[in-house]
Amino acid sequence: MPTSLMLPIDELVRYRRHFHAHPELSYQEFETAAYIERELRAGGIDELRTGIAKTGILATLRGGRSGPTTLLRADMDALPISELNDVPYRSTRQGVMHACGHDGHMAILLASARALAARRSEIAGTLVFCFQPAEEGPAGAKAMVQEGALEDPHVDRVFALHLFSGLDVGRIGIRDGAFFASSDRFILRLRGKGGHGGMPERSVDPIVAAAHLVTIFQSLVSREIAPKDPVVLSIGKIESGTTYNVIPDSVEMLGTVRALDAAVRSAMPERIERMVQGFCAAMRMEFEFEYLWGYPPTVNDAVTNDIVRAVARQVVGAGQADDPHDIVMWSEDMAYMLEERPGSYFIVGTRGPQLGALPQHSAHYDIDEAALAIGFGMMTGIALHG
């Protein structure tokens, strides 16, 4: 393995603060992409495909020795949040904020690409630096795969990291197999018969039915699914009714379902609908049920994870990895790339003594920038591992 690269700490911080101050929402990362393209070209990387899935960039760096083709990915989008931090690099755009750390992901990958370009001859194989739009919901990774991100050159394996406020700076979270959960949604509409709140016998009350269903769903999770298979079913919205004494005609419920096991996940719509069907028949209720598939579980390959483990030992030292880290019930569209190719998704701690402990997606979210150097060490270490 070649000796490690010089750490471009000023560049990492400058990039991260630039991205932080200029956030863009999903599929609107045009200025972000233009900035990245300019910096890649200035760093001597000119085999670029731009406009992939609207704003995505694929930058190819062919090494001086033969070896596998490795894709390293960073996501580019920010969130519809108004930043409440008072820092020199705060968001200059009202209502838009990098509150998930994607600014740091881009800074790490961009600085890594430029550092690796200067050491091209030592690289065994080909590197593809993937800057991906729209992670926060619209599945930009899936769109990039559909537009050929894993071909030409044919990608053998994929890696990505996420900065994570639940871990201290200096720690890396690694897990074989399923790490992050799937995220699916459903809409359930119950239709009864409205009437006077004082004469329920002349109505069919959908609110009572909805209240029962909220708890029945939890017994589905606890009684039909094995305790070893984590599943979360949460009802996030219930809408119905107008006033105190009117039984409404209908109720609309919105829910999210998360799972780690593919078979458990795929059986959830049938299980939920069966319960709704039986219960609604008993309650004289009609219903409509719509299930919306979202991100699949993010599943890591044990072989590529061994590369992450070896690099982590060098970057943060032996014993500094949470391995296996606890499962995370967020979801992540890197899952789509990991369905197509073996690879690893791991987390890098950002919690420092002063900054970086607040949850991701908070309007006060920030990172301890010492985490950038660790992310850089991990990405370049993986790239040079061969």
Please identify every residue annotated as catalytic. 77, 135
Q: Which residues contact 14 (CB under 8 A, 6 or more apart)?
A: none
The residue with its CB nearest to Ni ion is: 100
Identify whether the C-beta of residue 140 lies closer than 8 Å to the C-beta of residue 348: no
Please state the closest distance from residue 162 (CB atom) to Ni ion, in A.
6
Nearest residue (CB) to Ni ion, 112 versus 331: 331
Nearest residue (CB) to Ni ion, 100 versus 106: 100
Residue that the structure tokens 């309650």 belong to: 283
Please state the closest distance from residue 379 (CB atom) to Ni ion, in A.
16
How far, in Å, CA of 140 to CA of 332, rounded?
Answer: 10
Please state the closest distance from residue 366 (CB atom) to Ni ion, in A.
15
How far, in Å, CA of 183 to CA of 296, rounded?
Answer: 7
- Residue 160 CA neighbour count, 13 Å, CB half: 31
Q: Which stretch binds Ni ion (CB under 5 A): 55-63, 93-101, 151-159, 169-177?
A: 93-101
Please state the closest distance from residue 102 (CB atom) to Ni ion, in A.
6
x/- mask, Ni ion, residues 97-116, rule CB under 5 A, reads: ---x----------------
Tokens of 375: 């992310």
Q: Which residues pair with 347 in a beta bridge?
A: 162, 173
Q: Which residues contact 67 (CB under 8 A, 6 or more apart)?
A: 123, 124, 125, 126, 386
Please state the closest distance from residue 185 (CB atom) to Ni ion, in A.
18
Q: Which stretch binds Ni ion (CB under 5 A): 34-42, 59-67, 94-102, 261-269?
A: 94-102
Nearest residue (CB) to Ni ion, 134 versus 169: 134
Please state the closest distance from residue 245 (CB atom) to Ni ion, in A.
46
Please state the closest distance from residue 131 (CB atom) to Ni ion, in A.
14
Q: Which stretch binds Ni ion (CB under 5 A): 84-92, 96-104, 264-272, 281-289?
A: 96-104
Burial of 261 (0-12, 13-18, 19+ CB in 10 A): buried
Nearest residue (CB) to Ni ion, 33 versus 100: 100
Nearest residue (CB) to Ni ion, 102 versus 271: 102
Q: Which stretch binds Ni ion (CB under 5 A): 33-41, 53-61, 92-100, 151-159?
A: 92-100
Helix ranges, the chain (H): 9-21, 30-42, 102-117, 140-146, 206-224, 262-282, 302-316, 334-340, 370-385
- Verify binding: residue 163, Ni ion, rule CB under 5 A: no
Geometric angle at alpha carbon 321, from 318 and 322, rounded to 5°: 145
Nearest residue (CB) to Ni ion, 20 versus 385: 20
Identify whether the C-beta of residue 295 lies closer than 8 Å to the C-beta of residue 182: yes
Nearest residue (CB) to Ni ion, 129 versus 345: 345
Cis peptide before 359 (omega within 30 of 0): no
- Give the length of the chain: 386
How far, in Å, CA of 311 to CA of 183, rounded?
Answer: 30
How large is the C-alpha radius of gyration of the chain? 24
Which one, of 303, 379, 312, lies nearest residue 341 by Cα? 303
Q: Which stretch binds Ni ion (CB under 5 A): 95-103, 114-122, 237-245, 269-277?
A: 95-103
Please state the closest distance from residue 151 (CB atom) to Ni ion, in A.
26
Nearest residue (CB) to Ni ion, 100 versus 251: 100
Binding residues for Ni ion, how many (CB under 5 A)?
1
Which one, of 175, 58, 184, lies nearest residue 127 by Cα? 58
DSSP 107: H
Instruction: Please give the residue ranges that form the binding site for Ni ion (CB under 5 A).
Output: 100
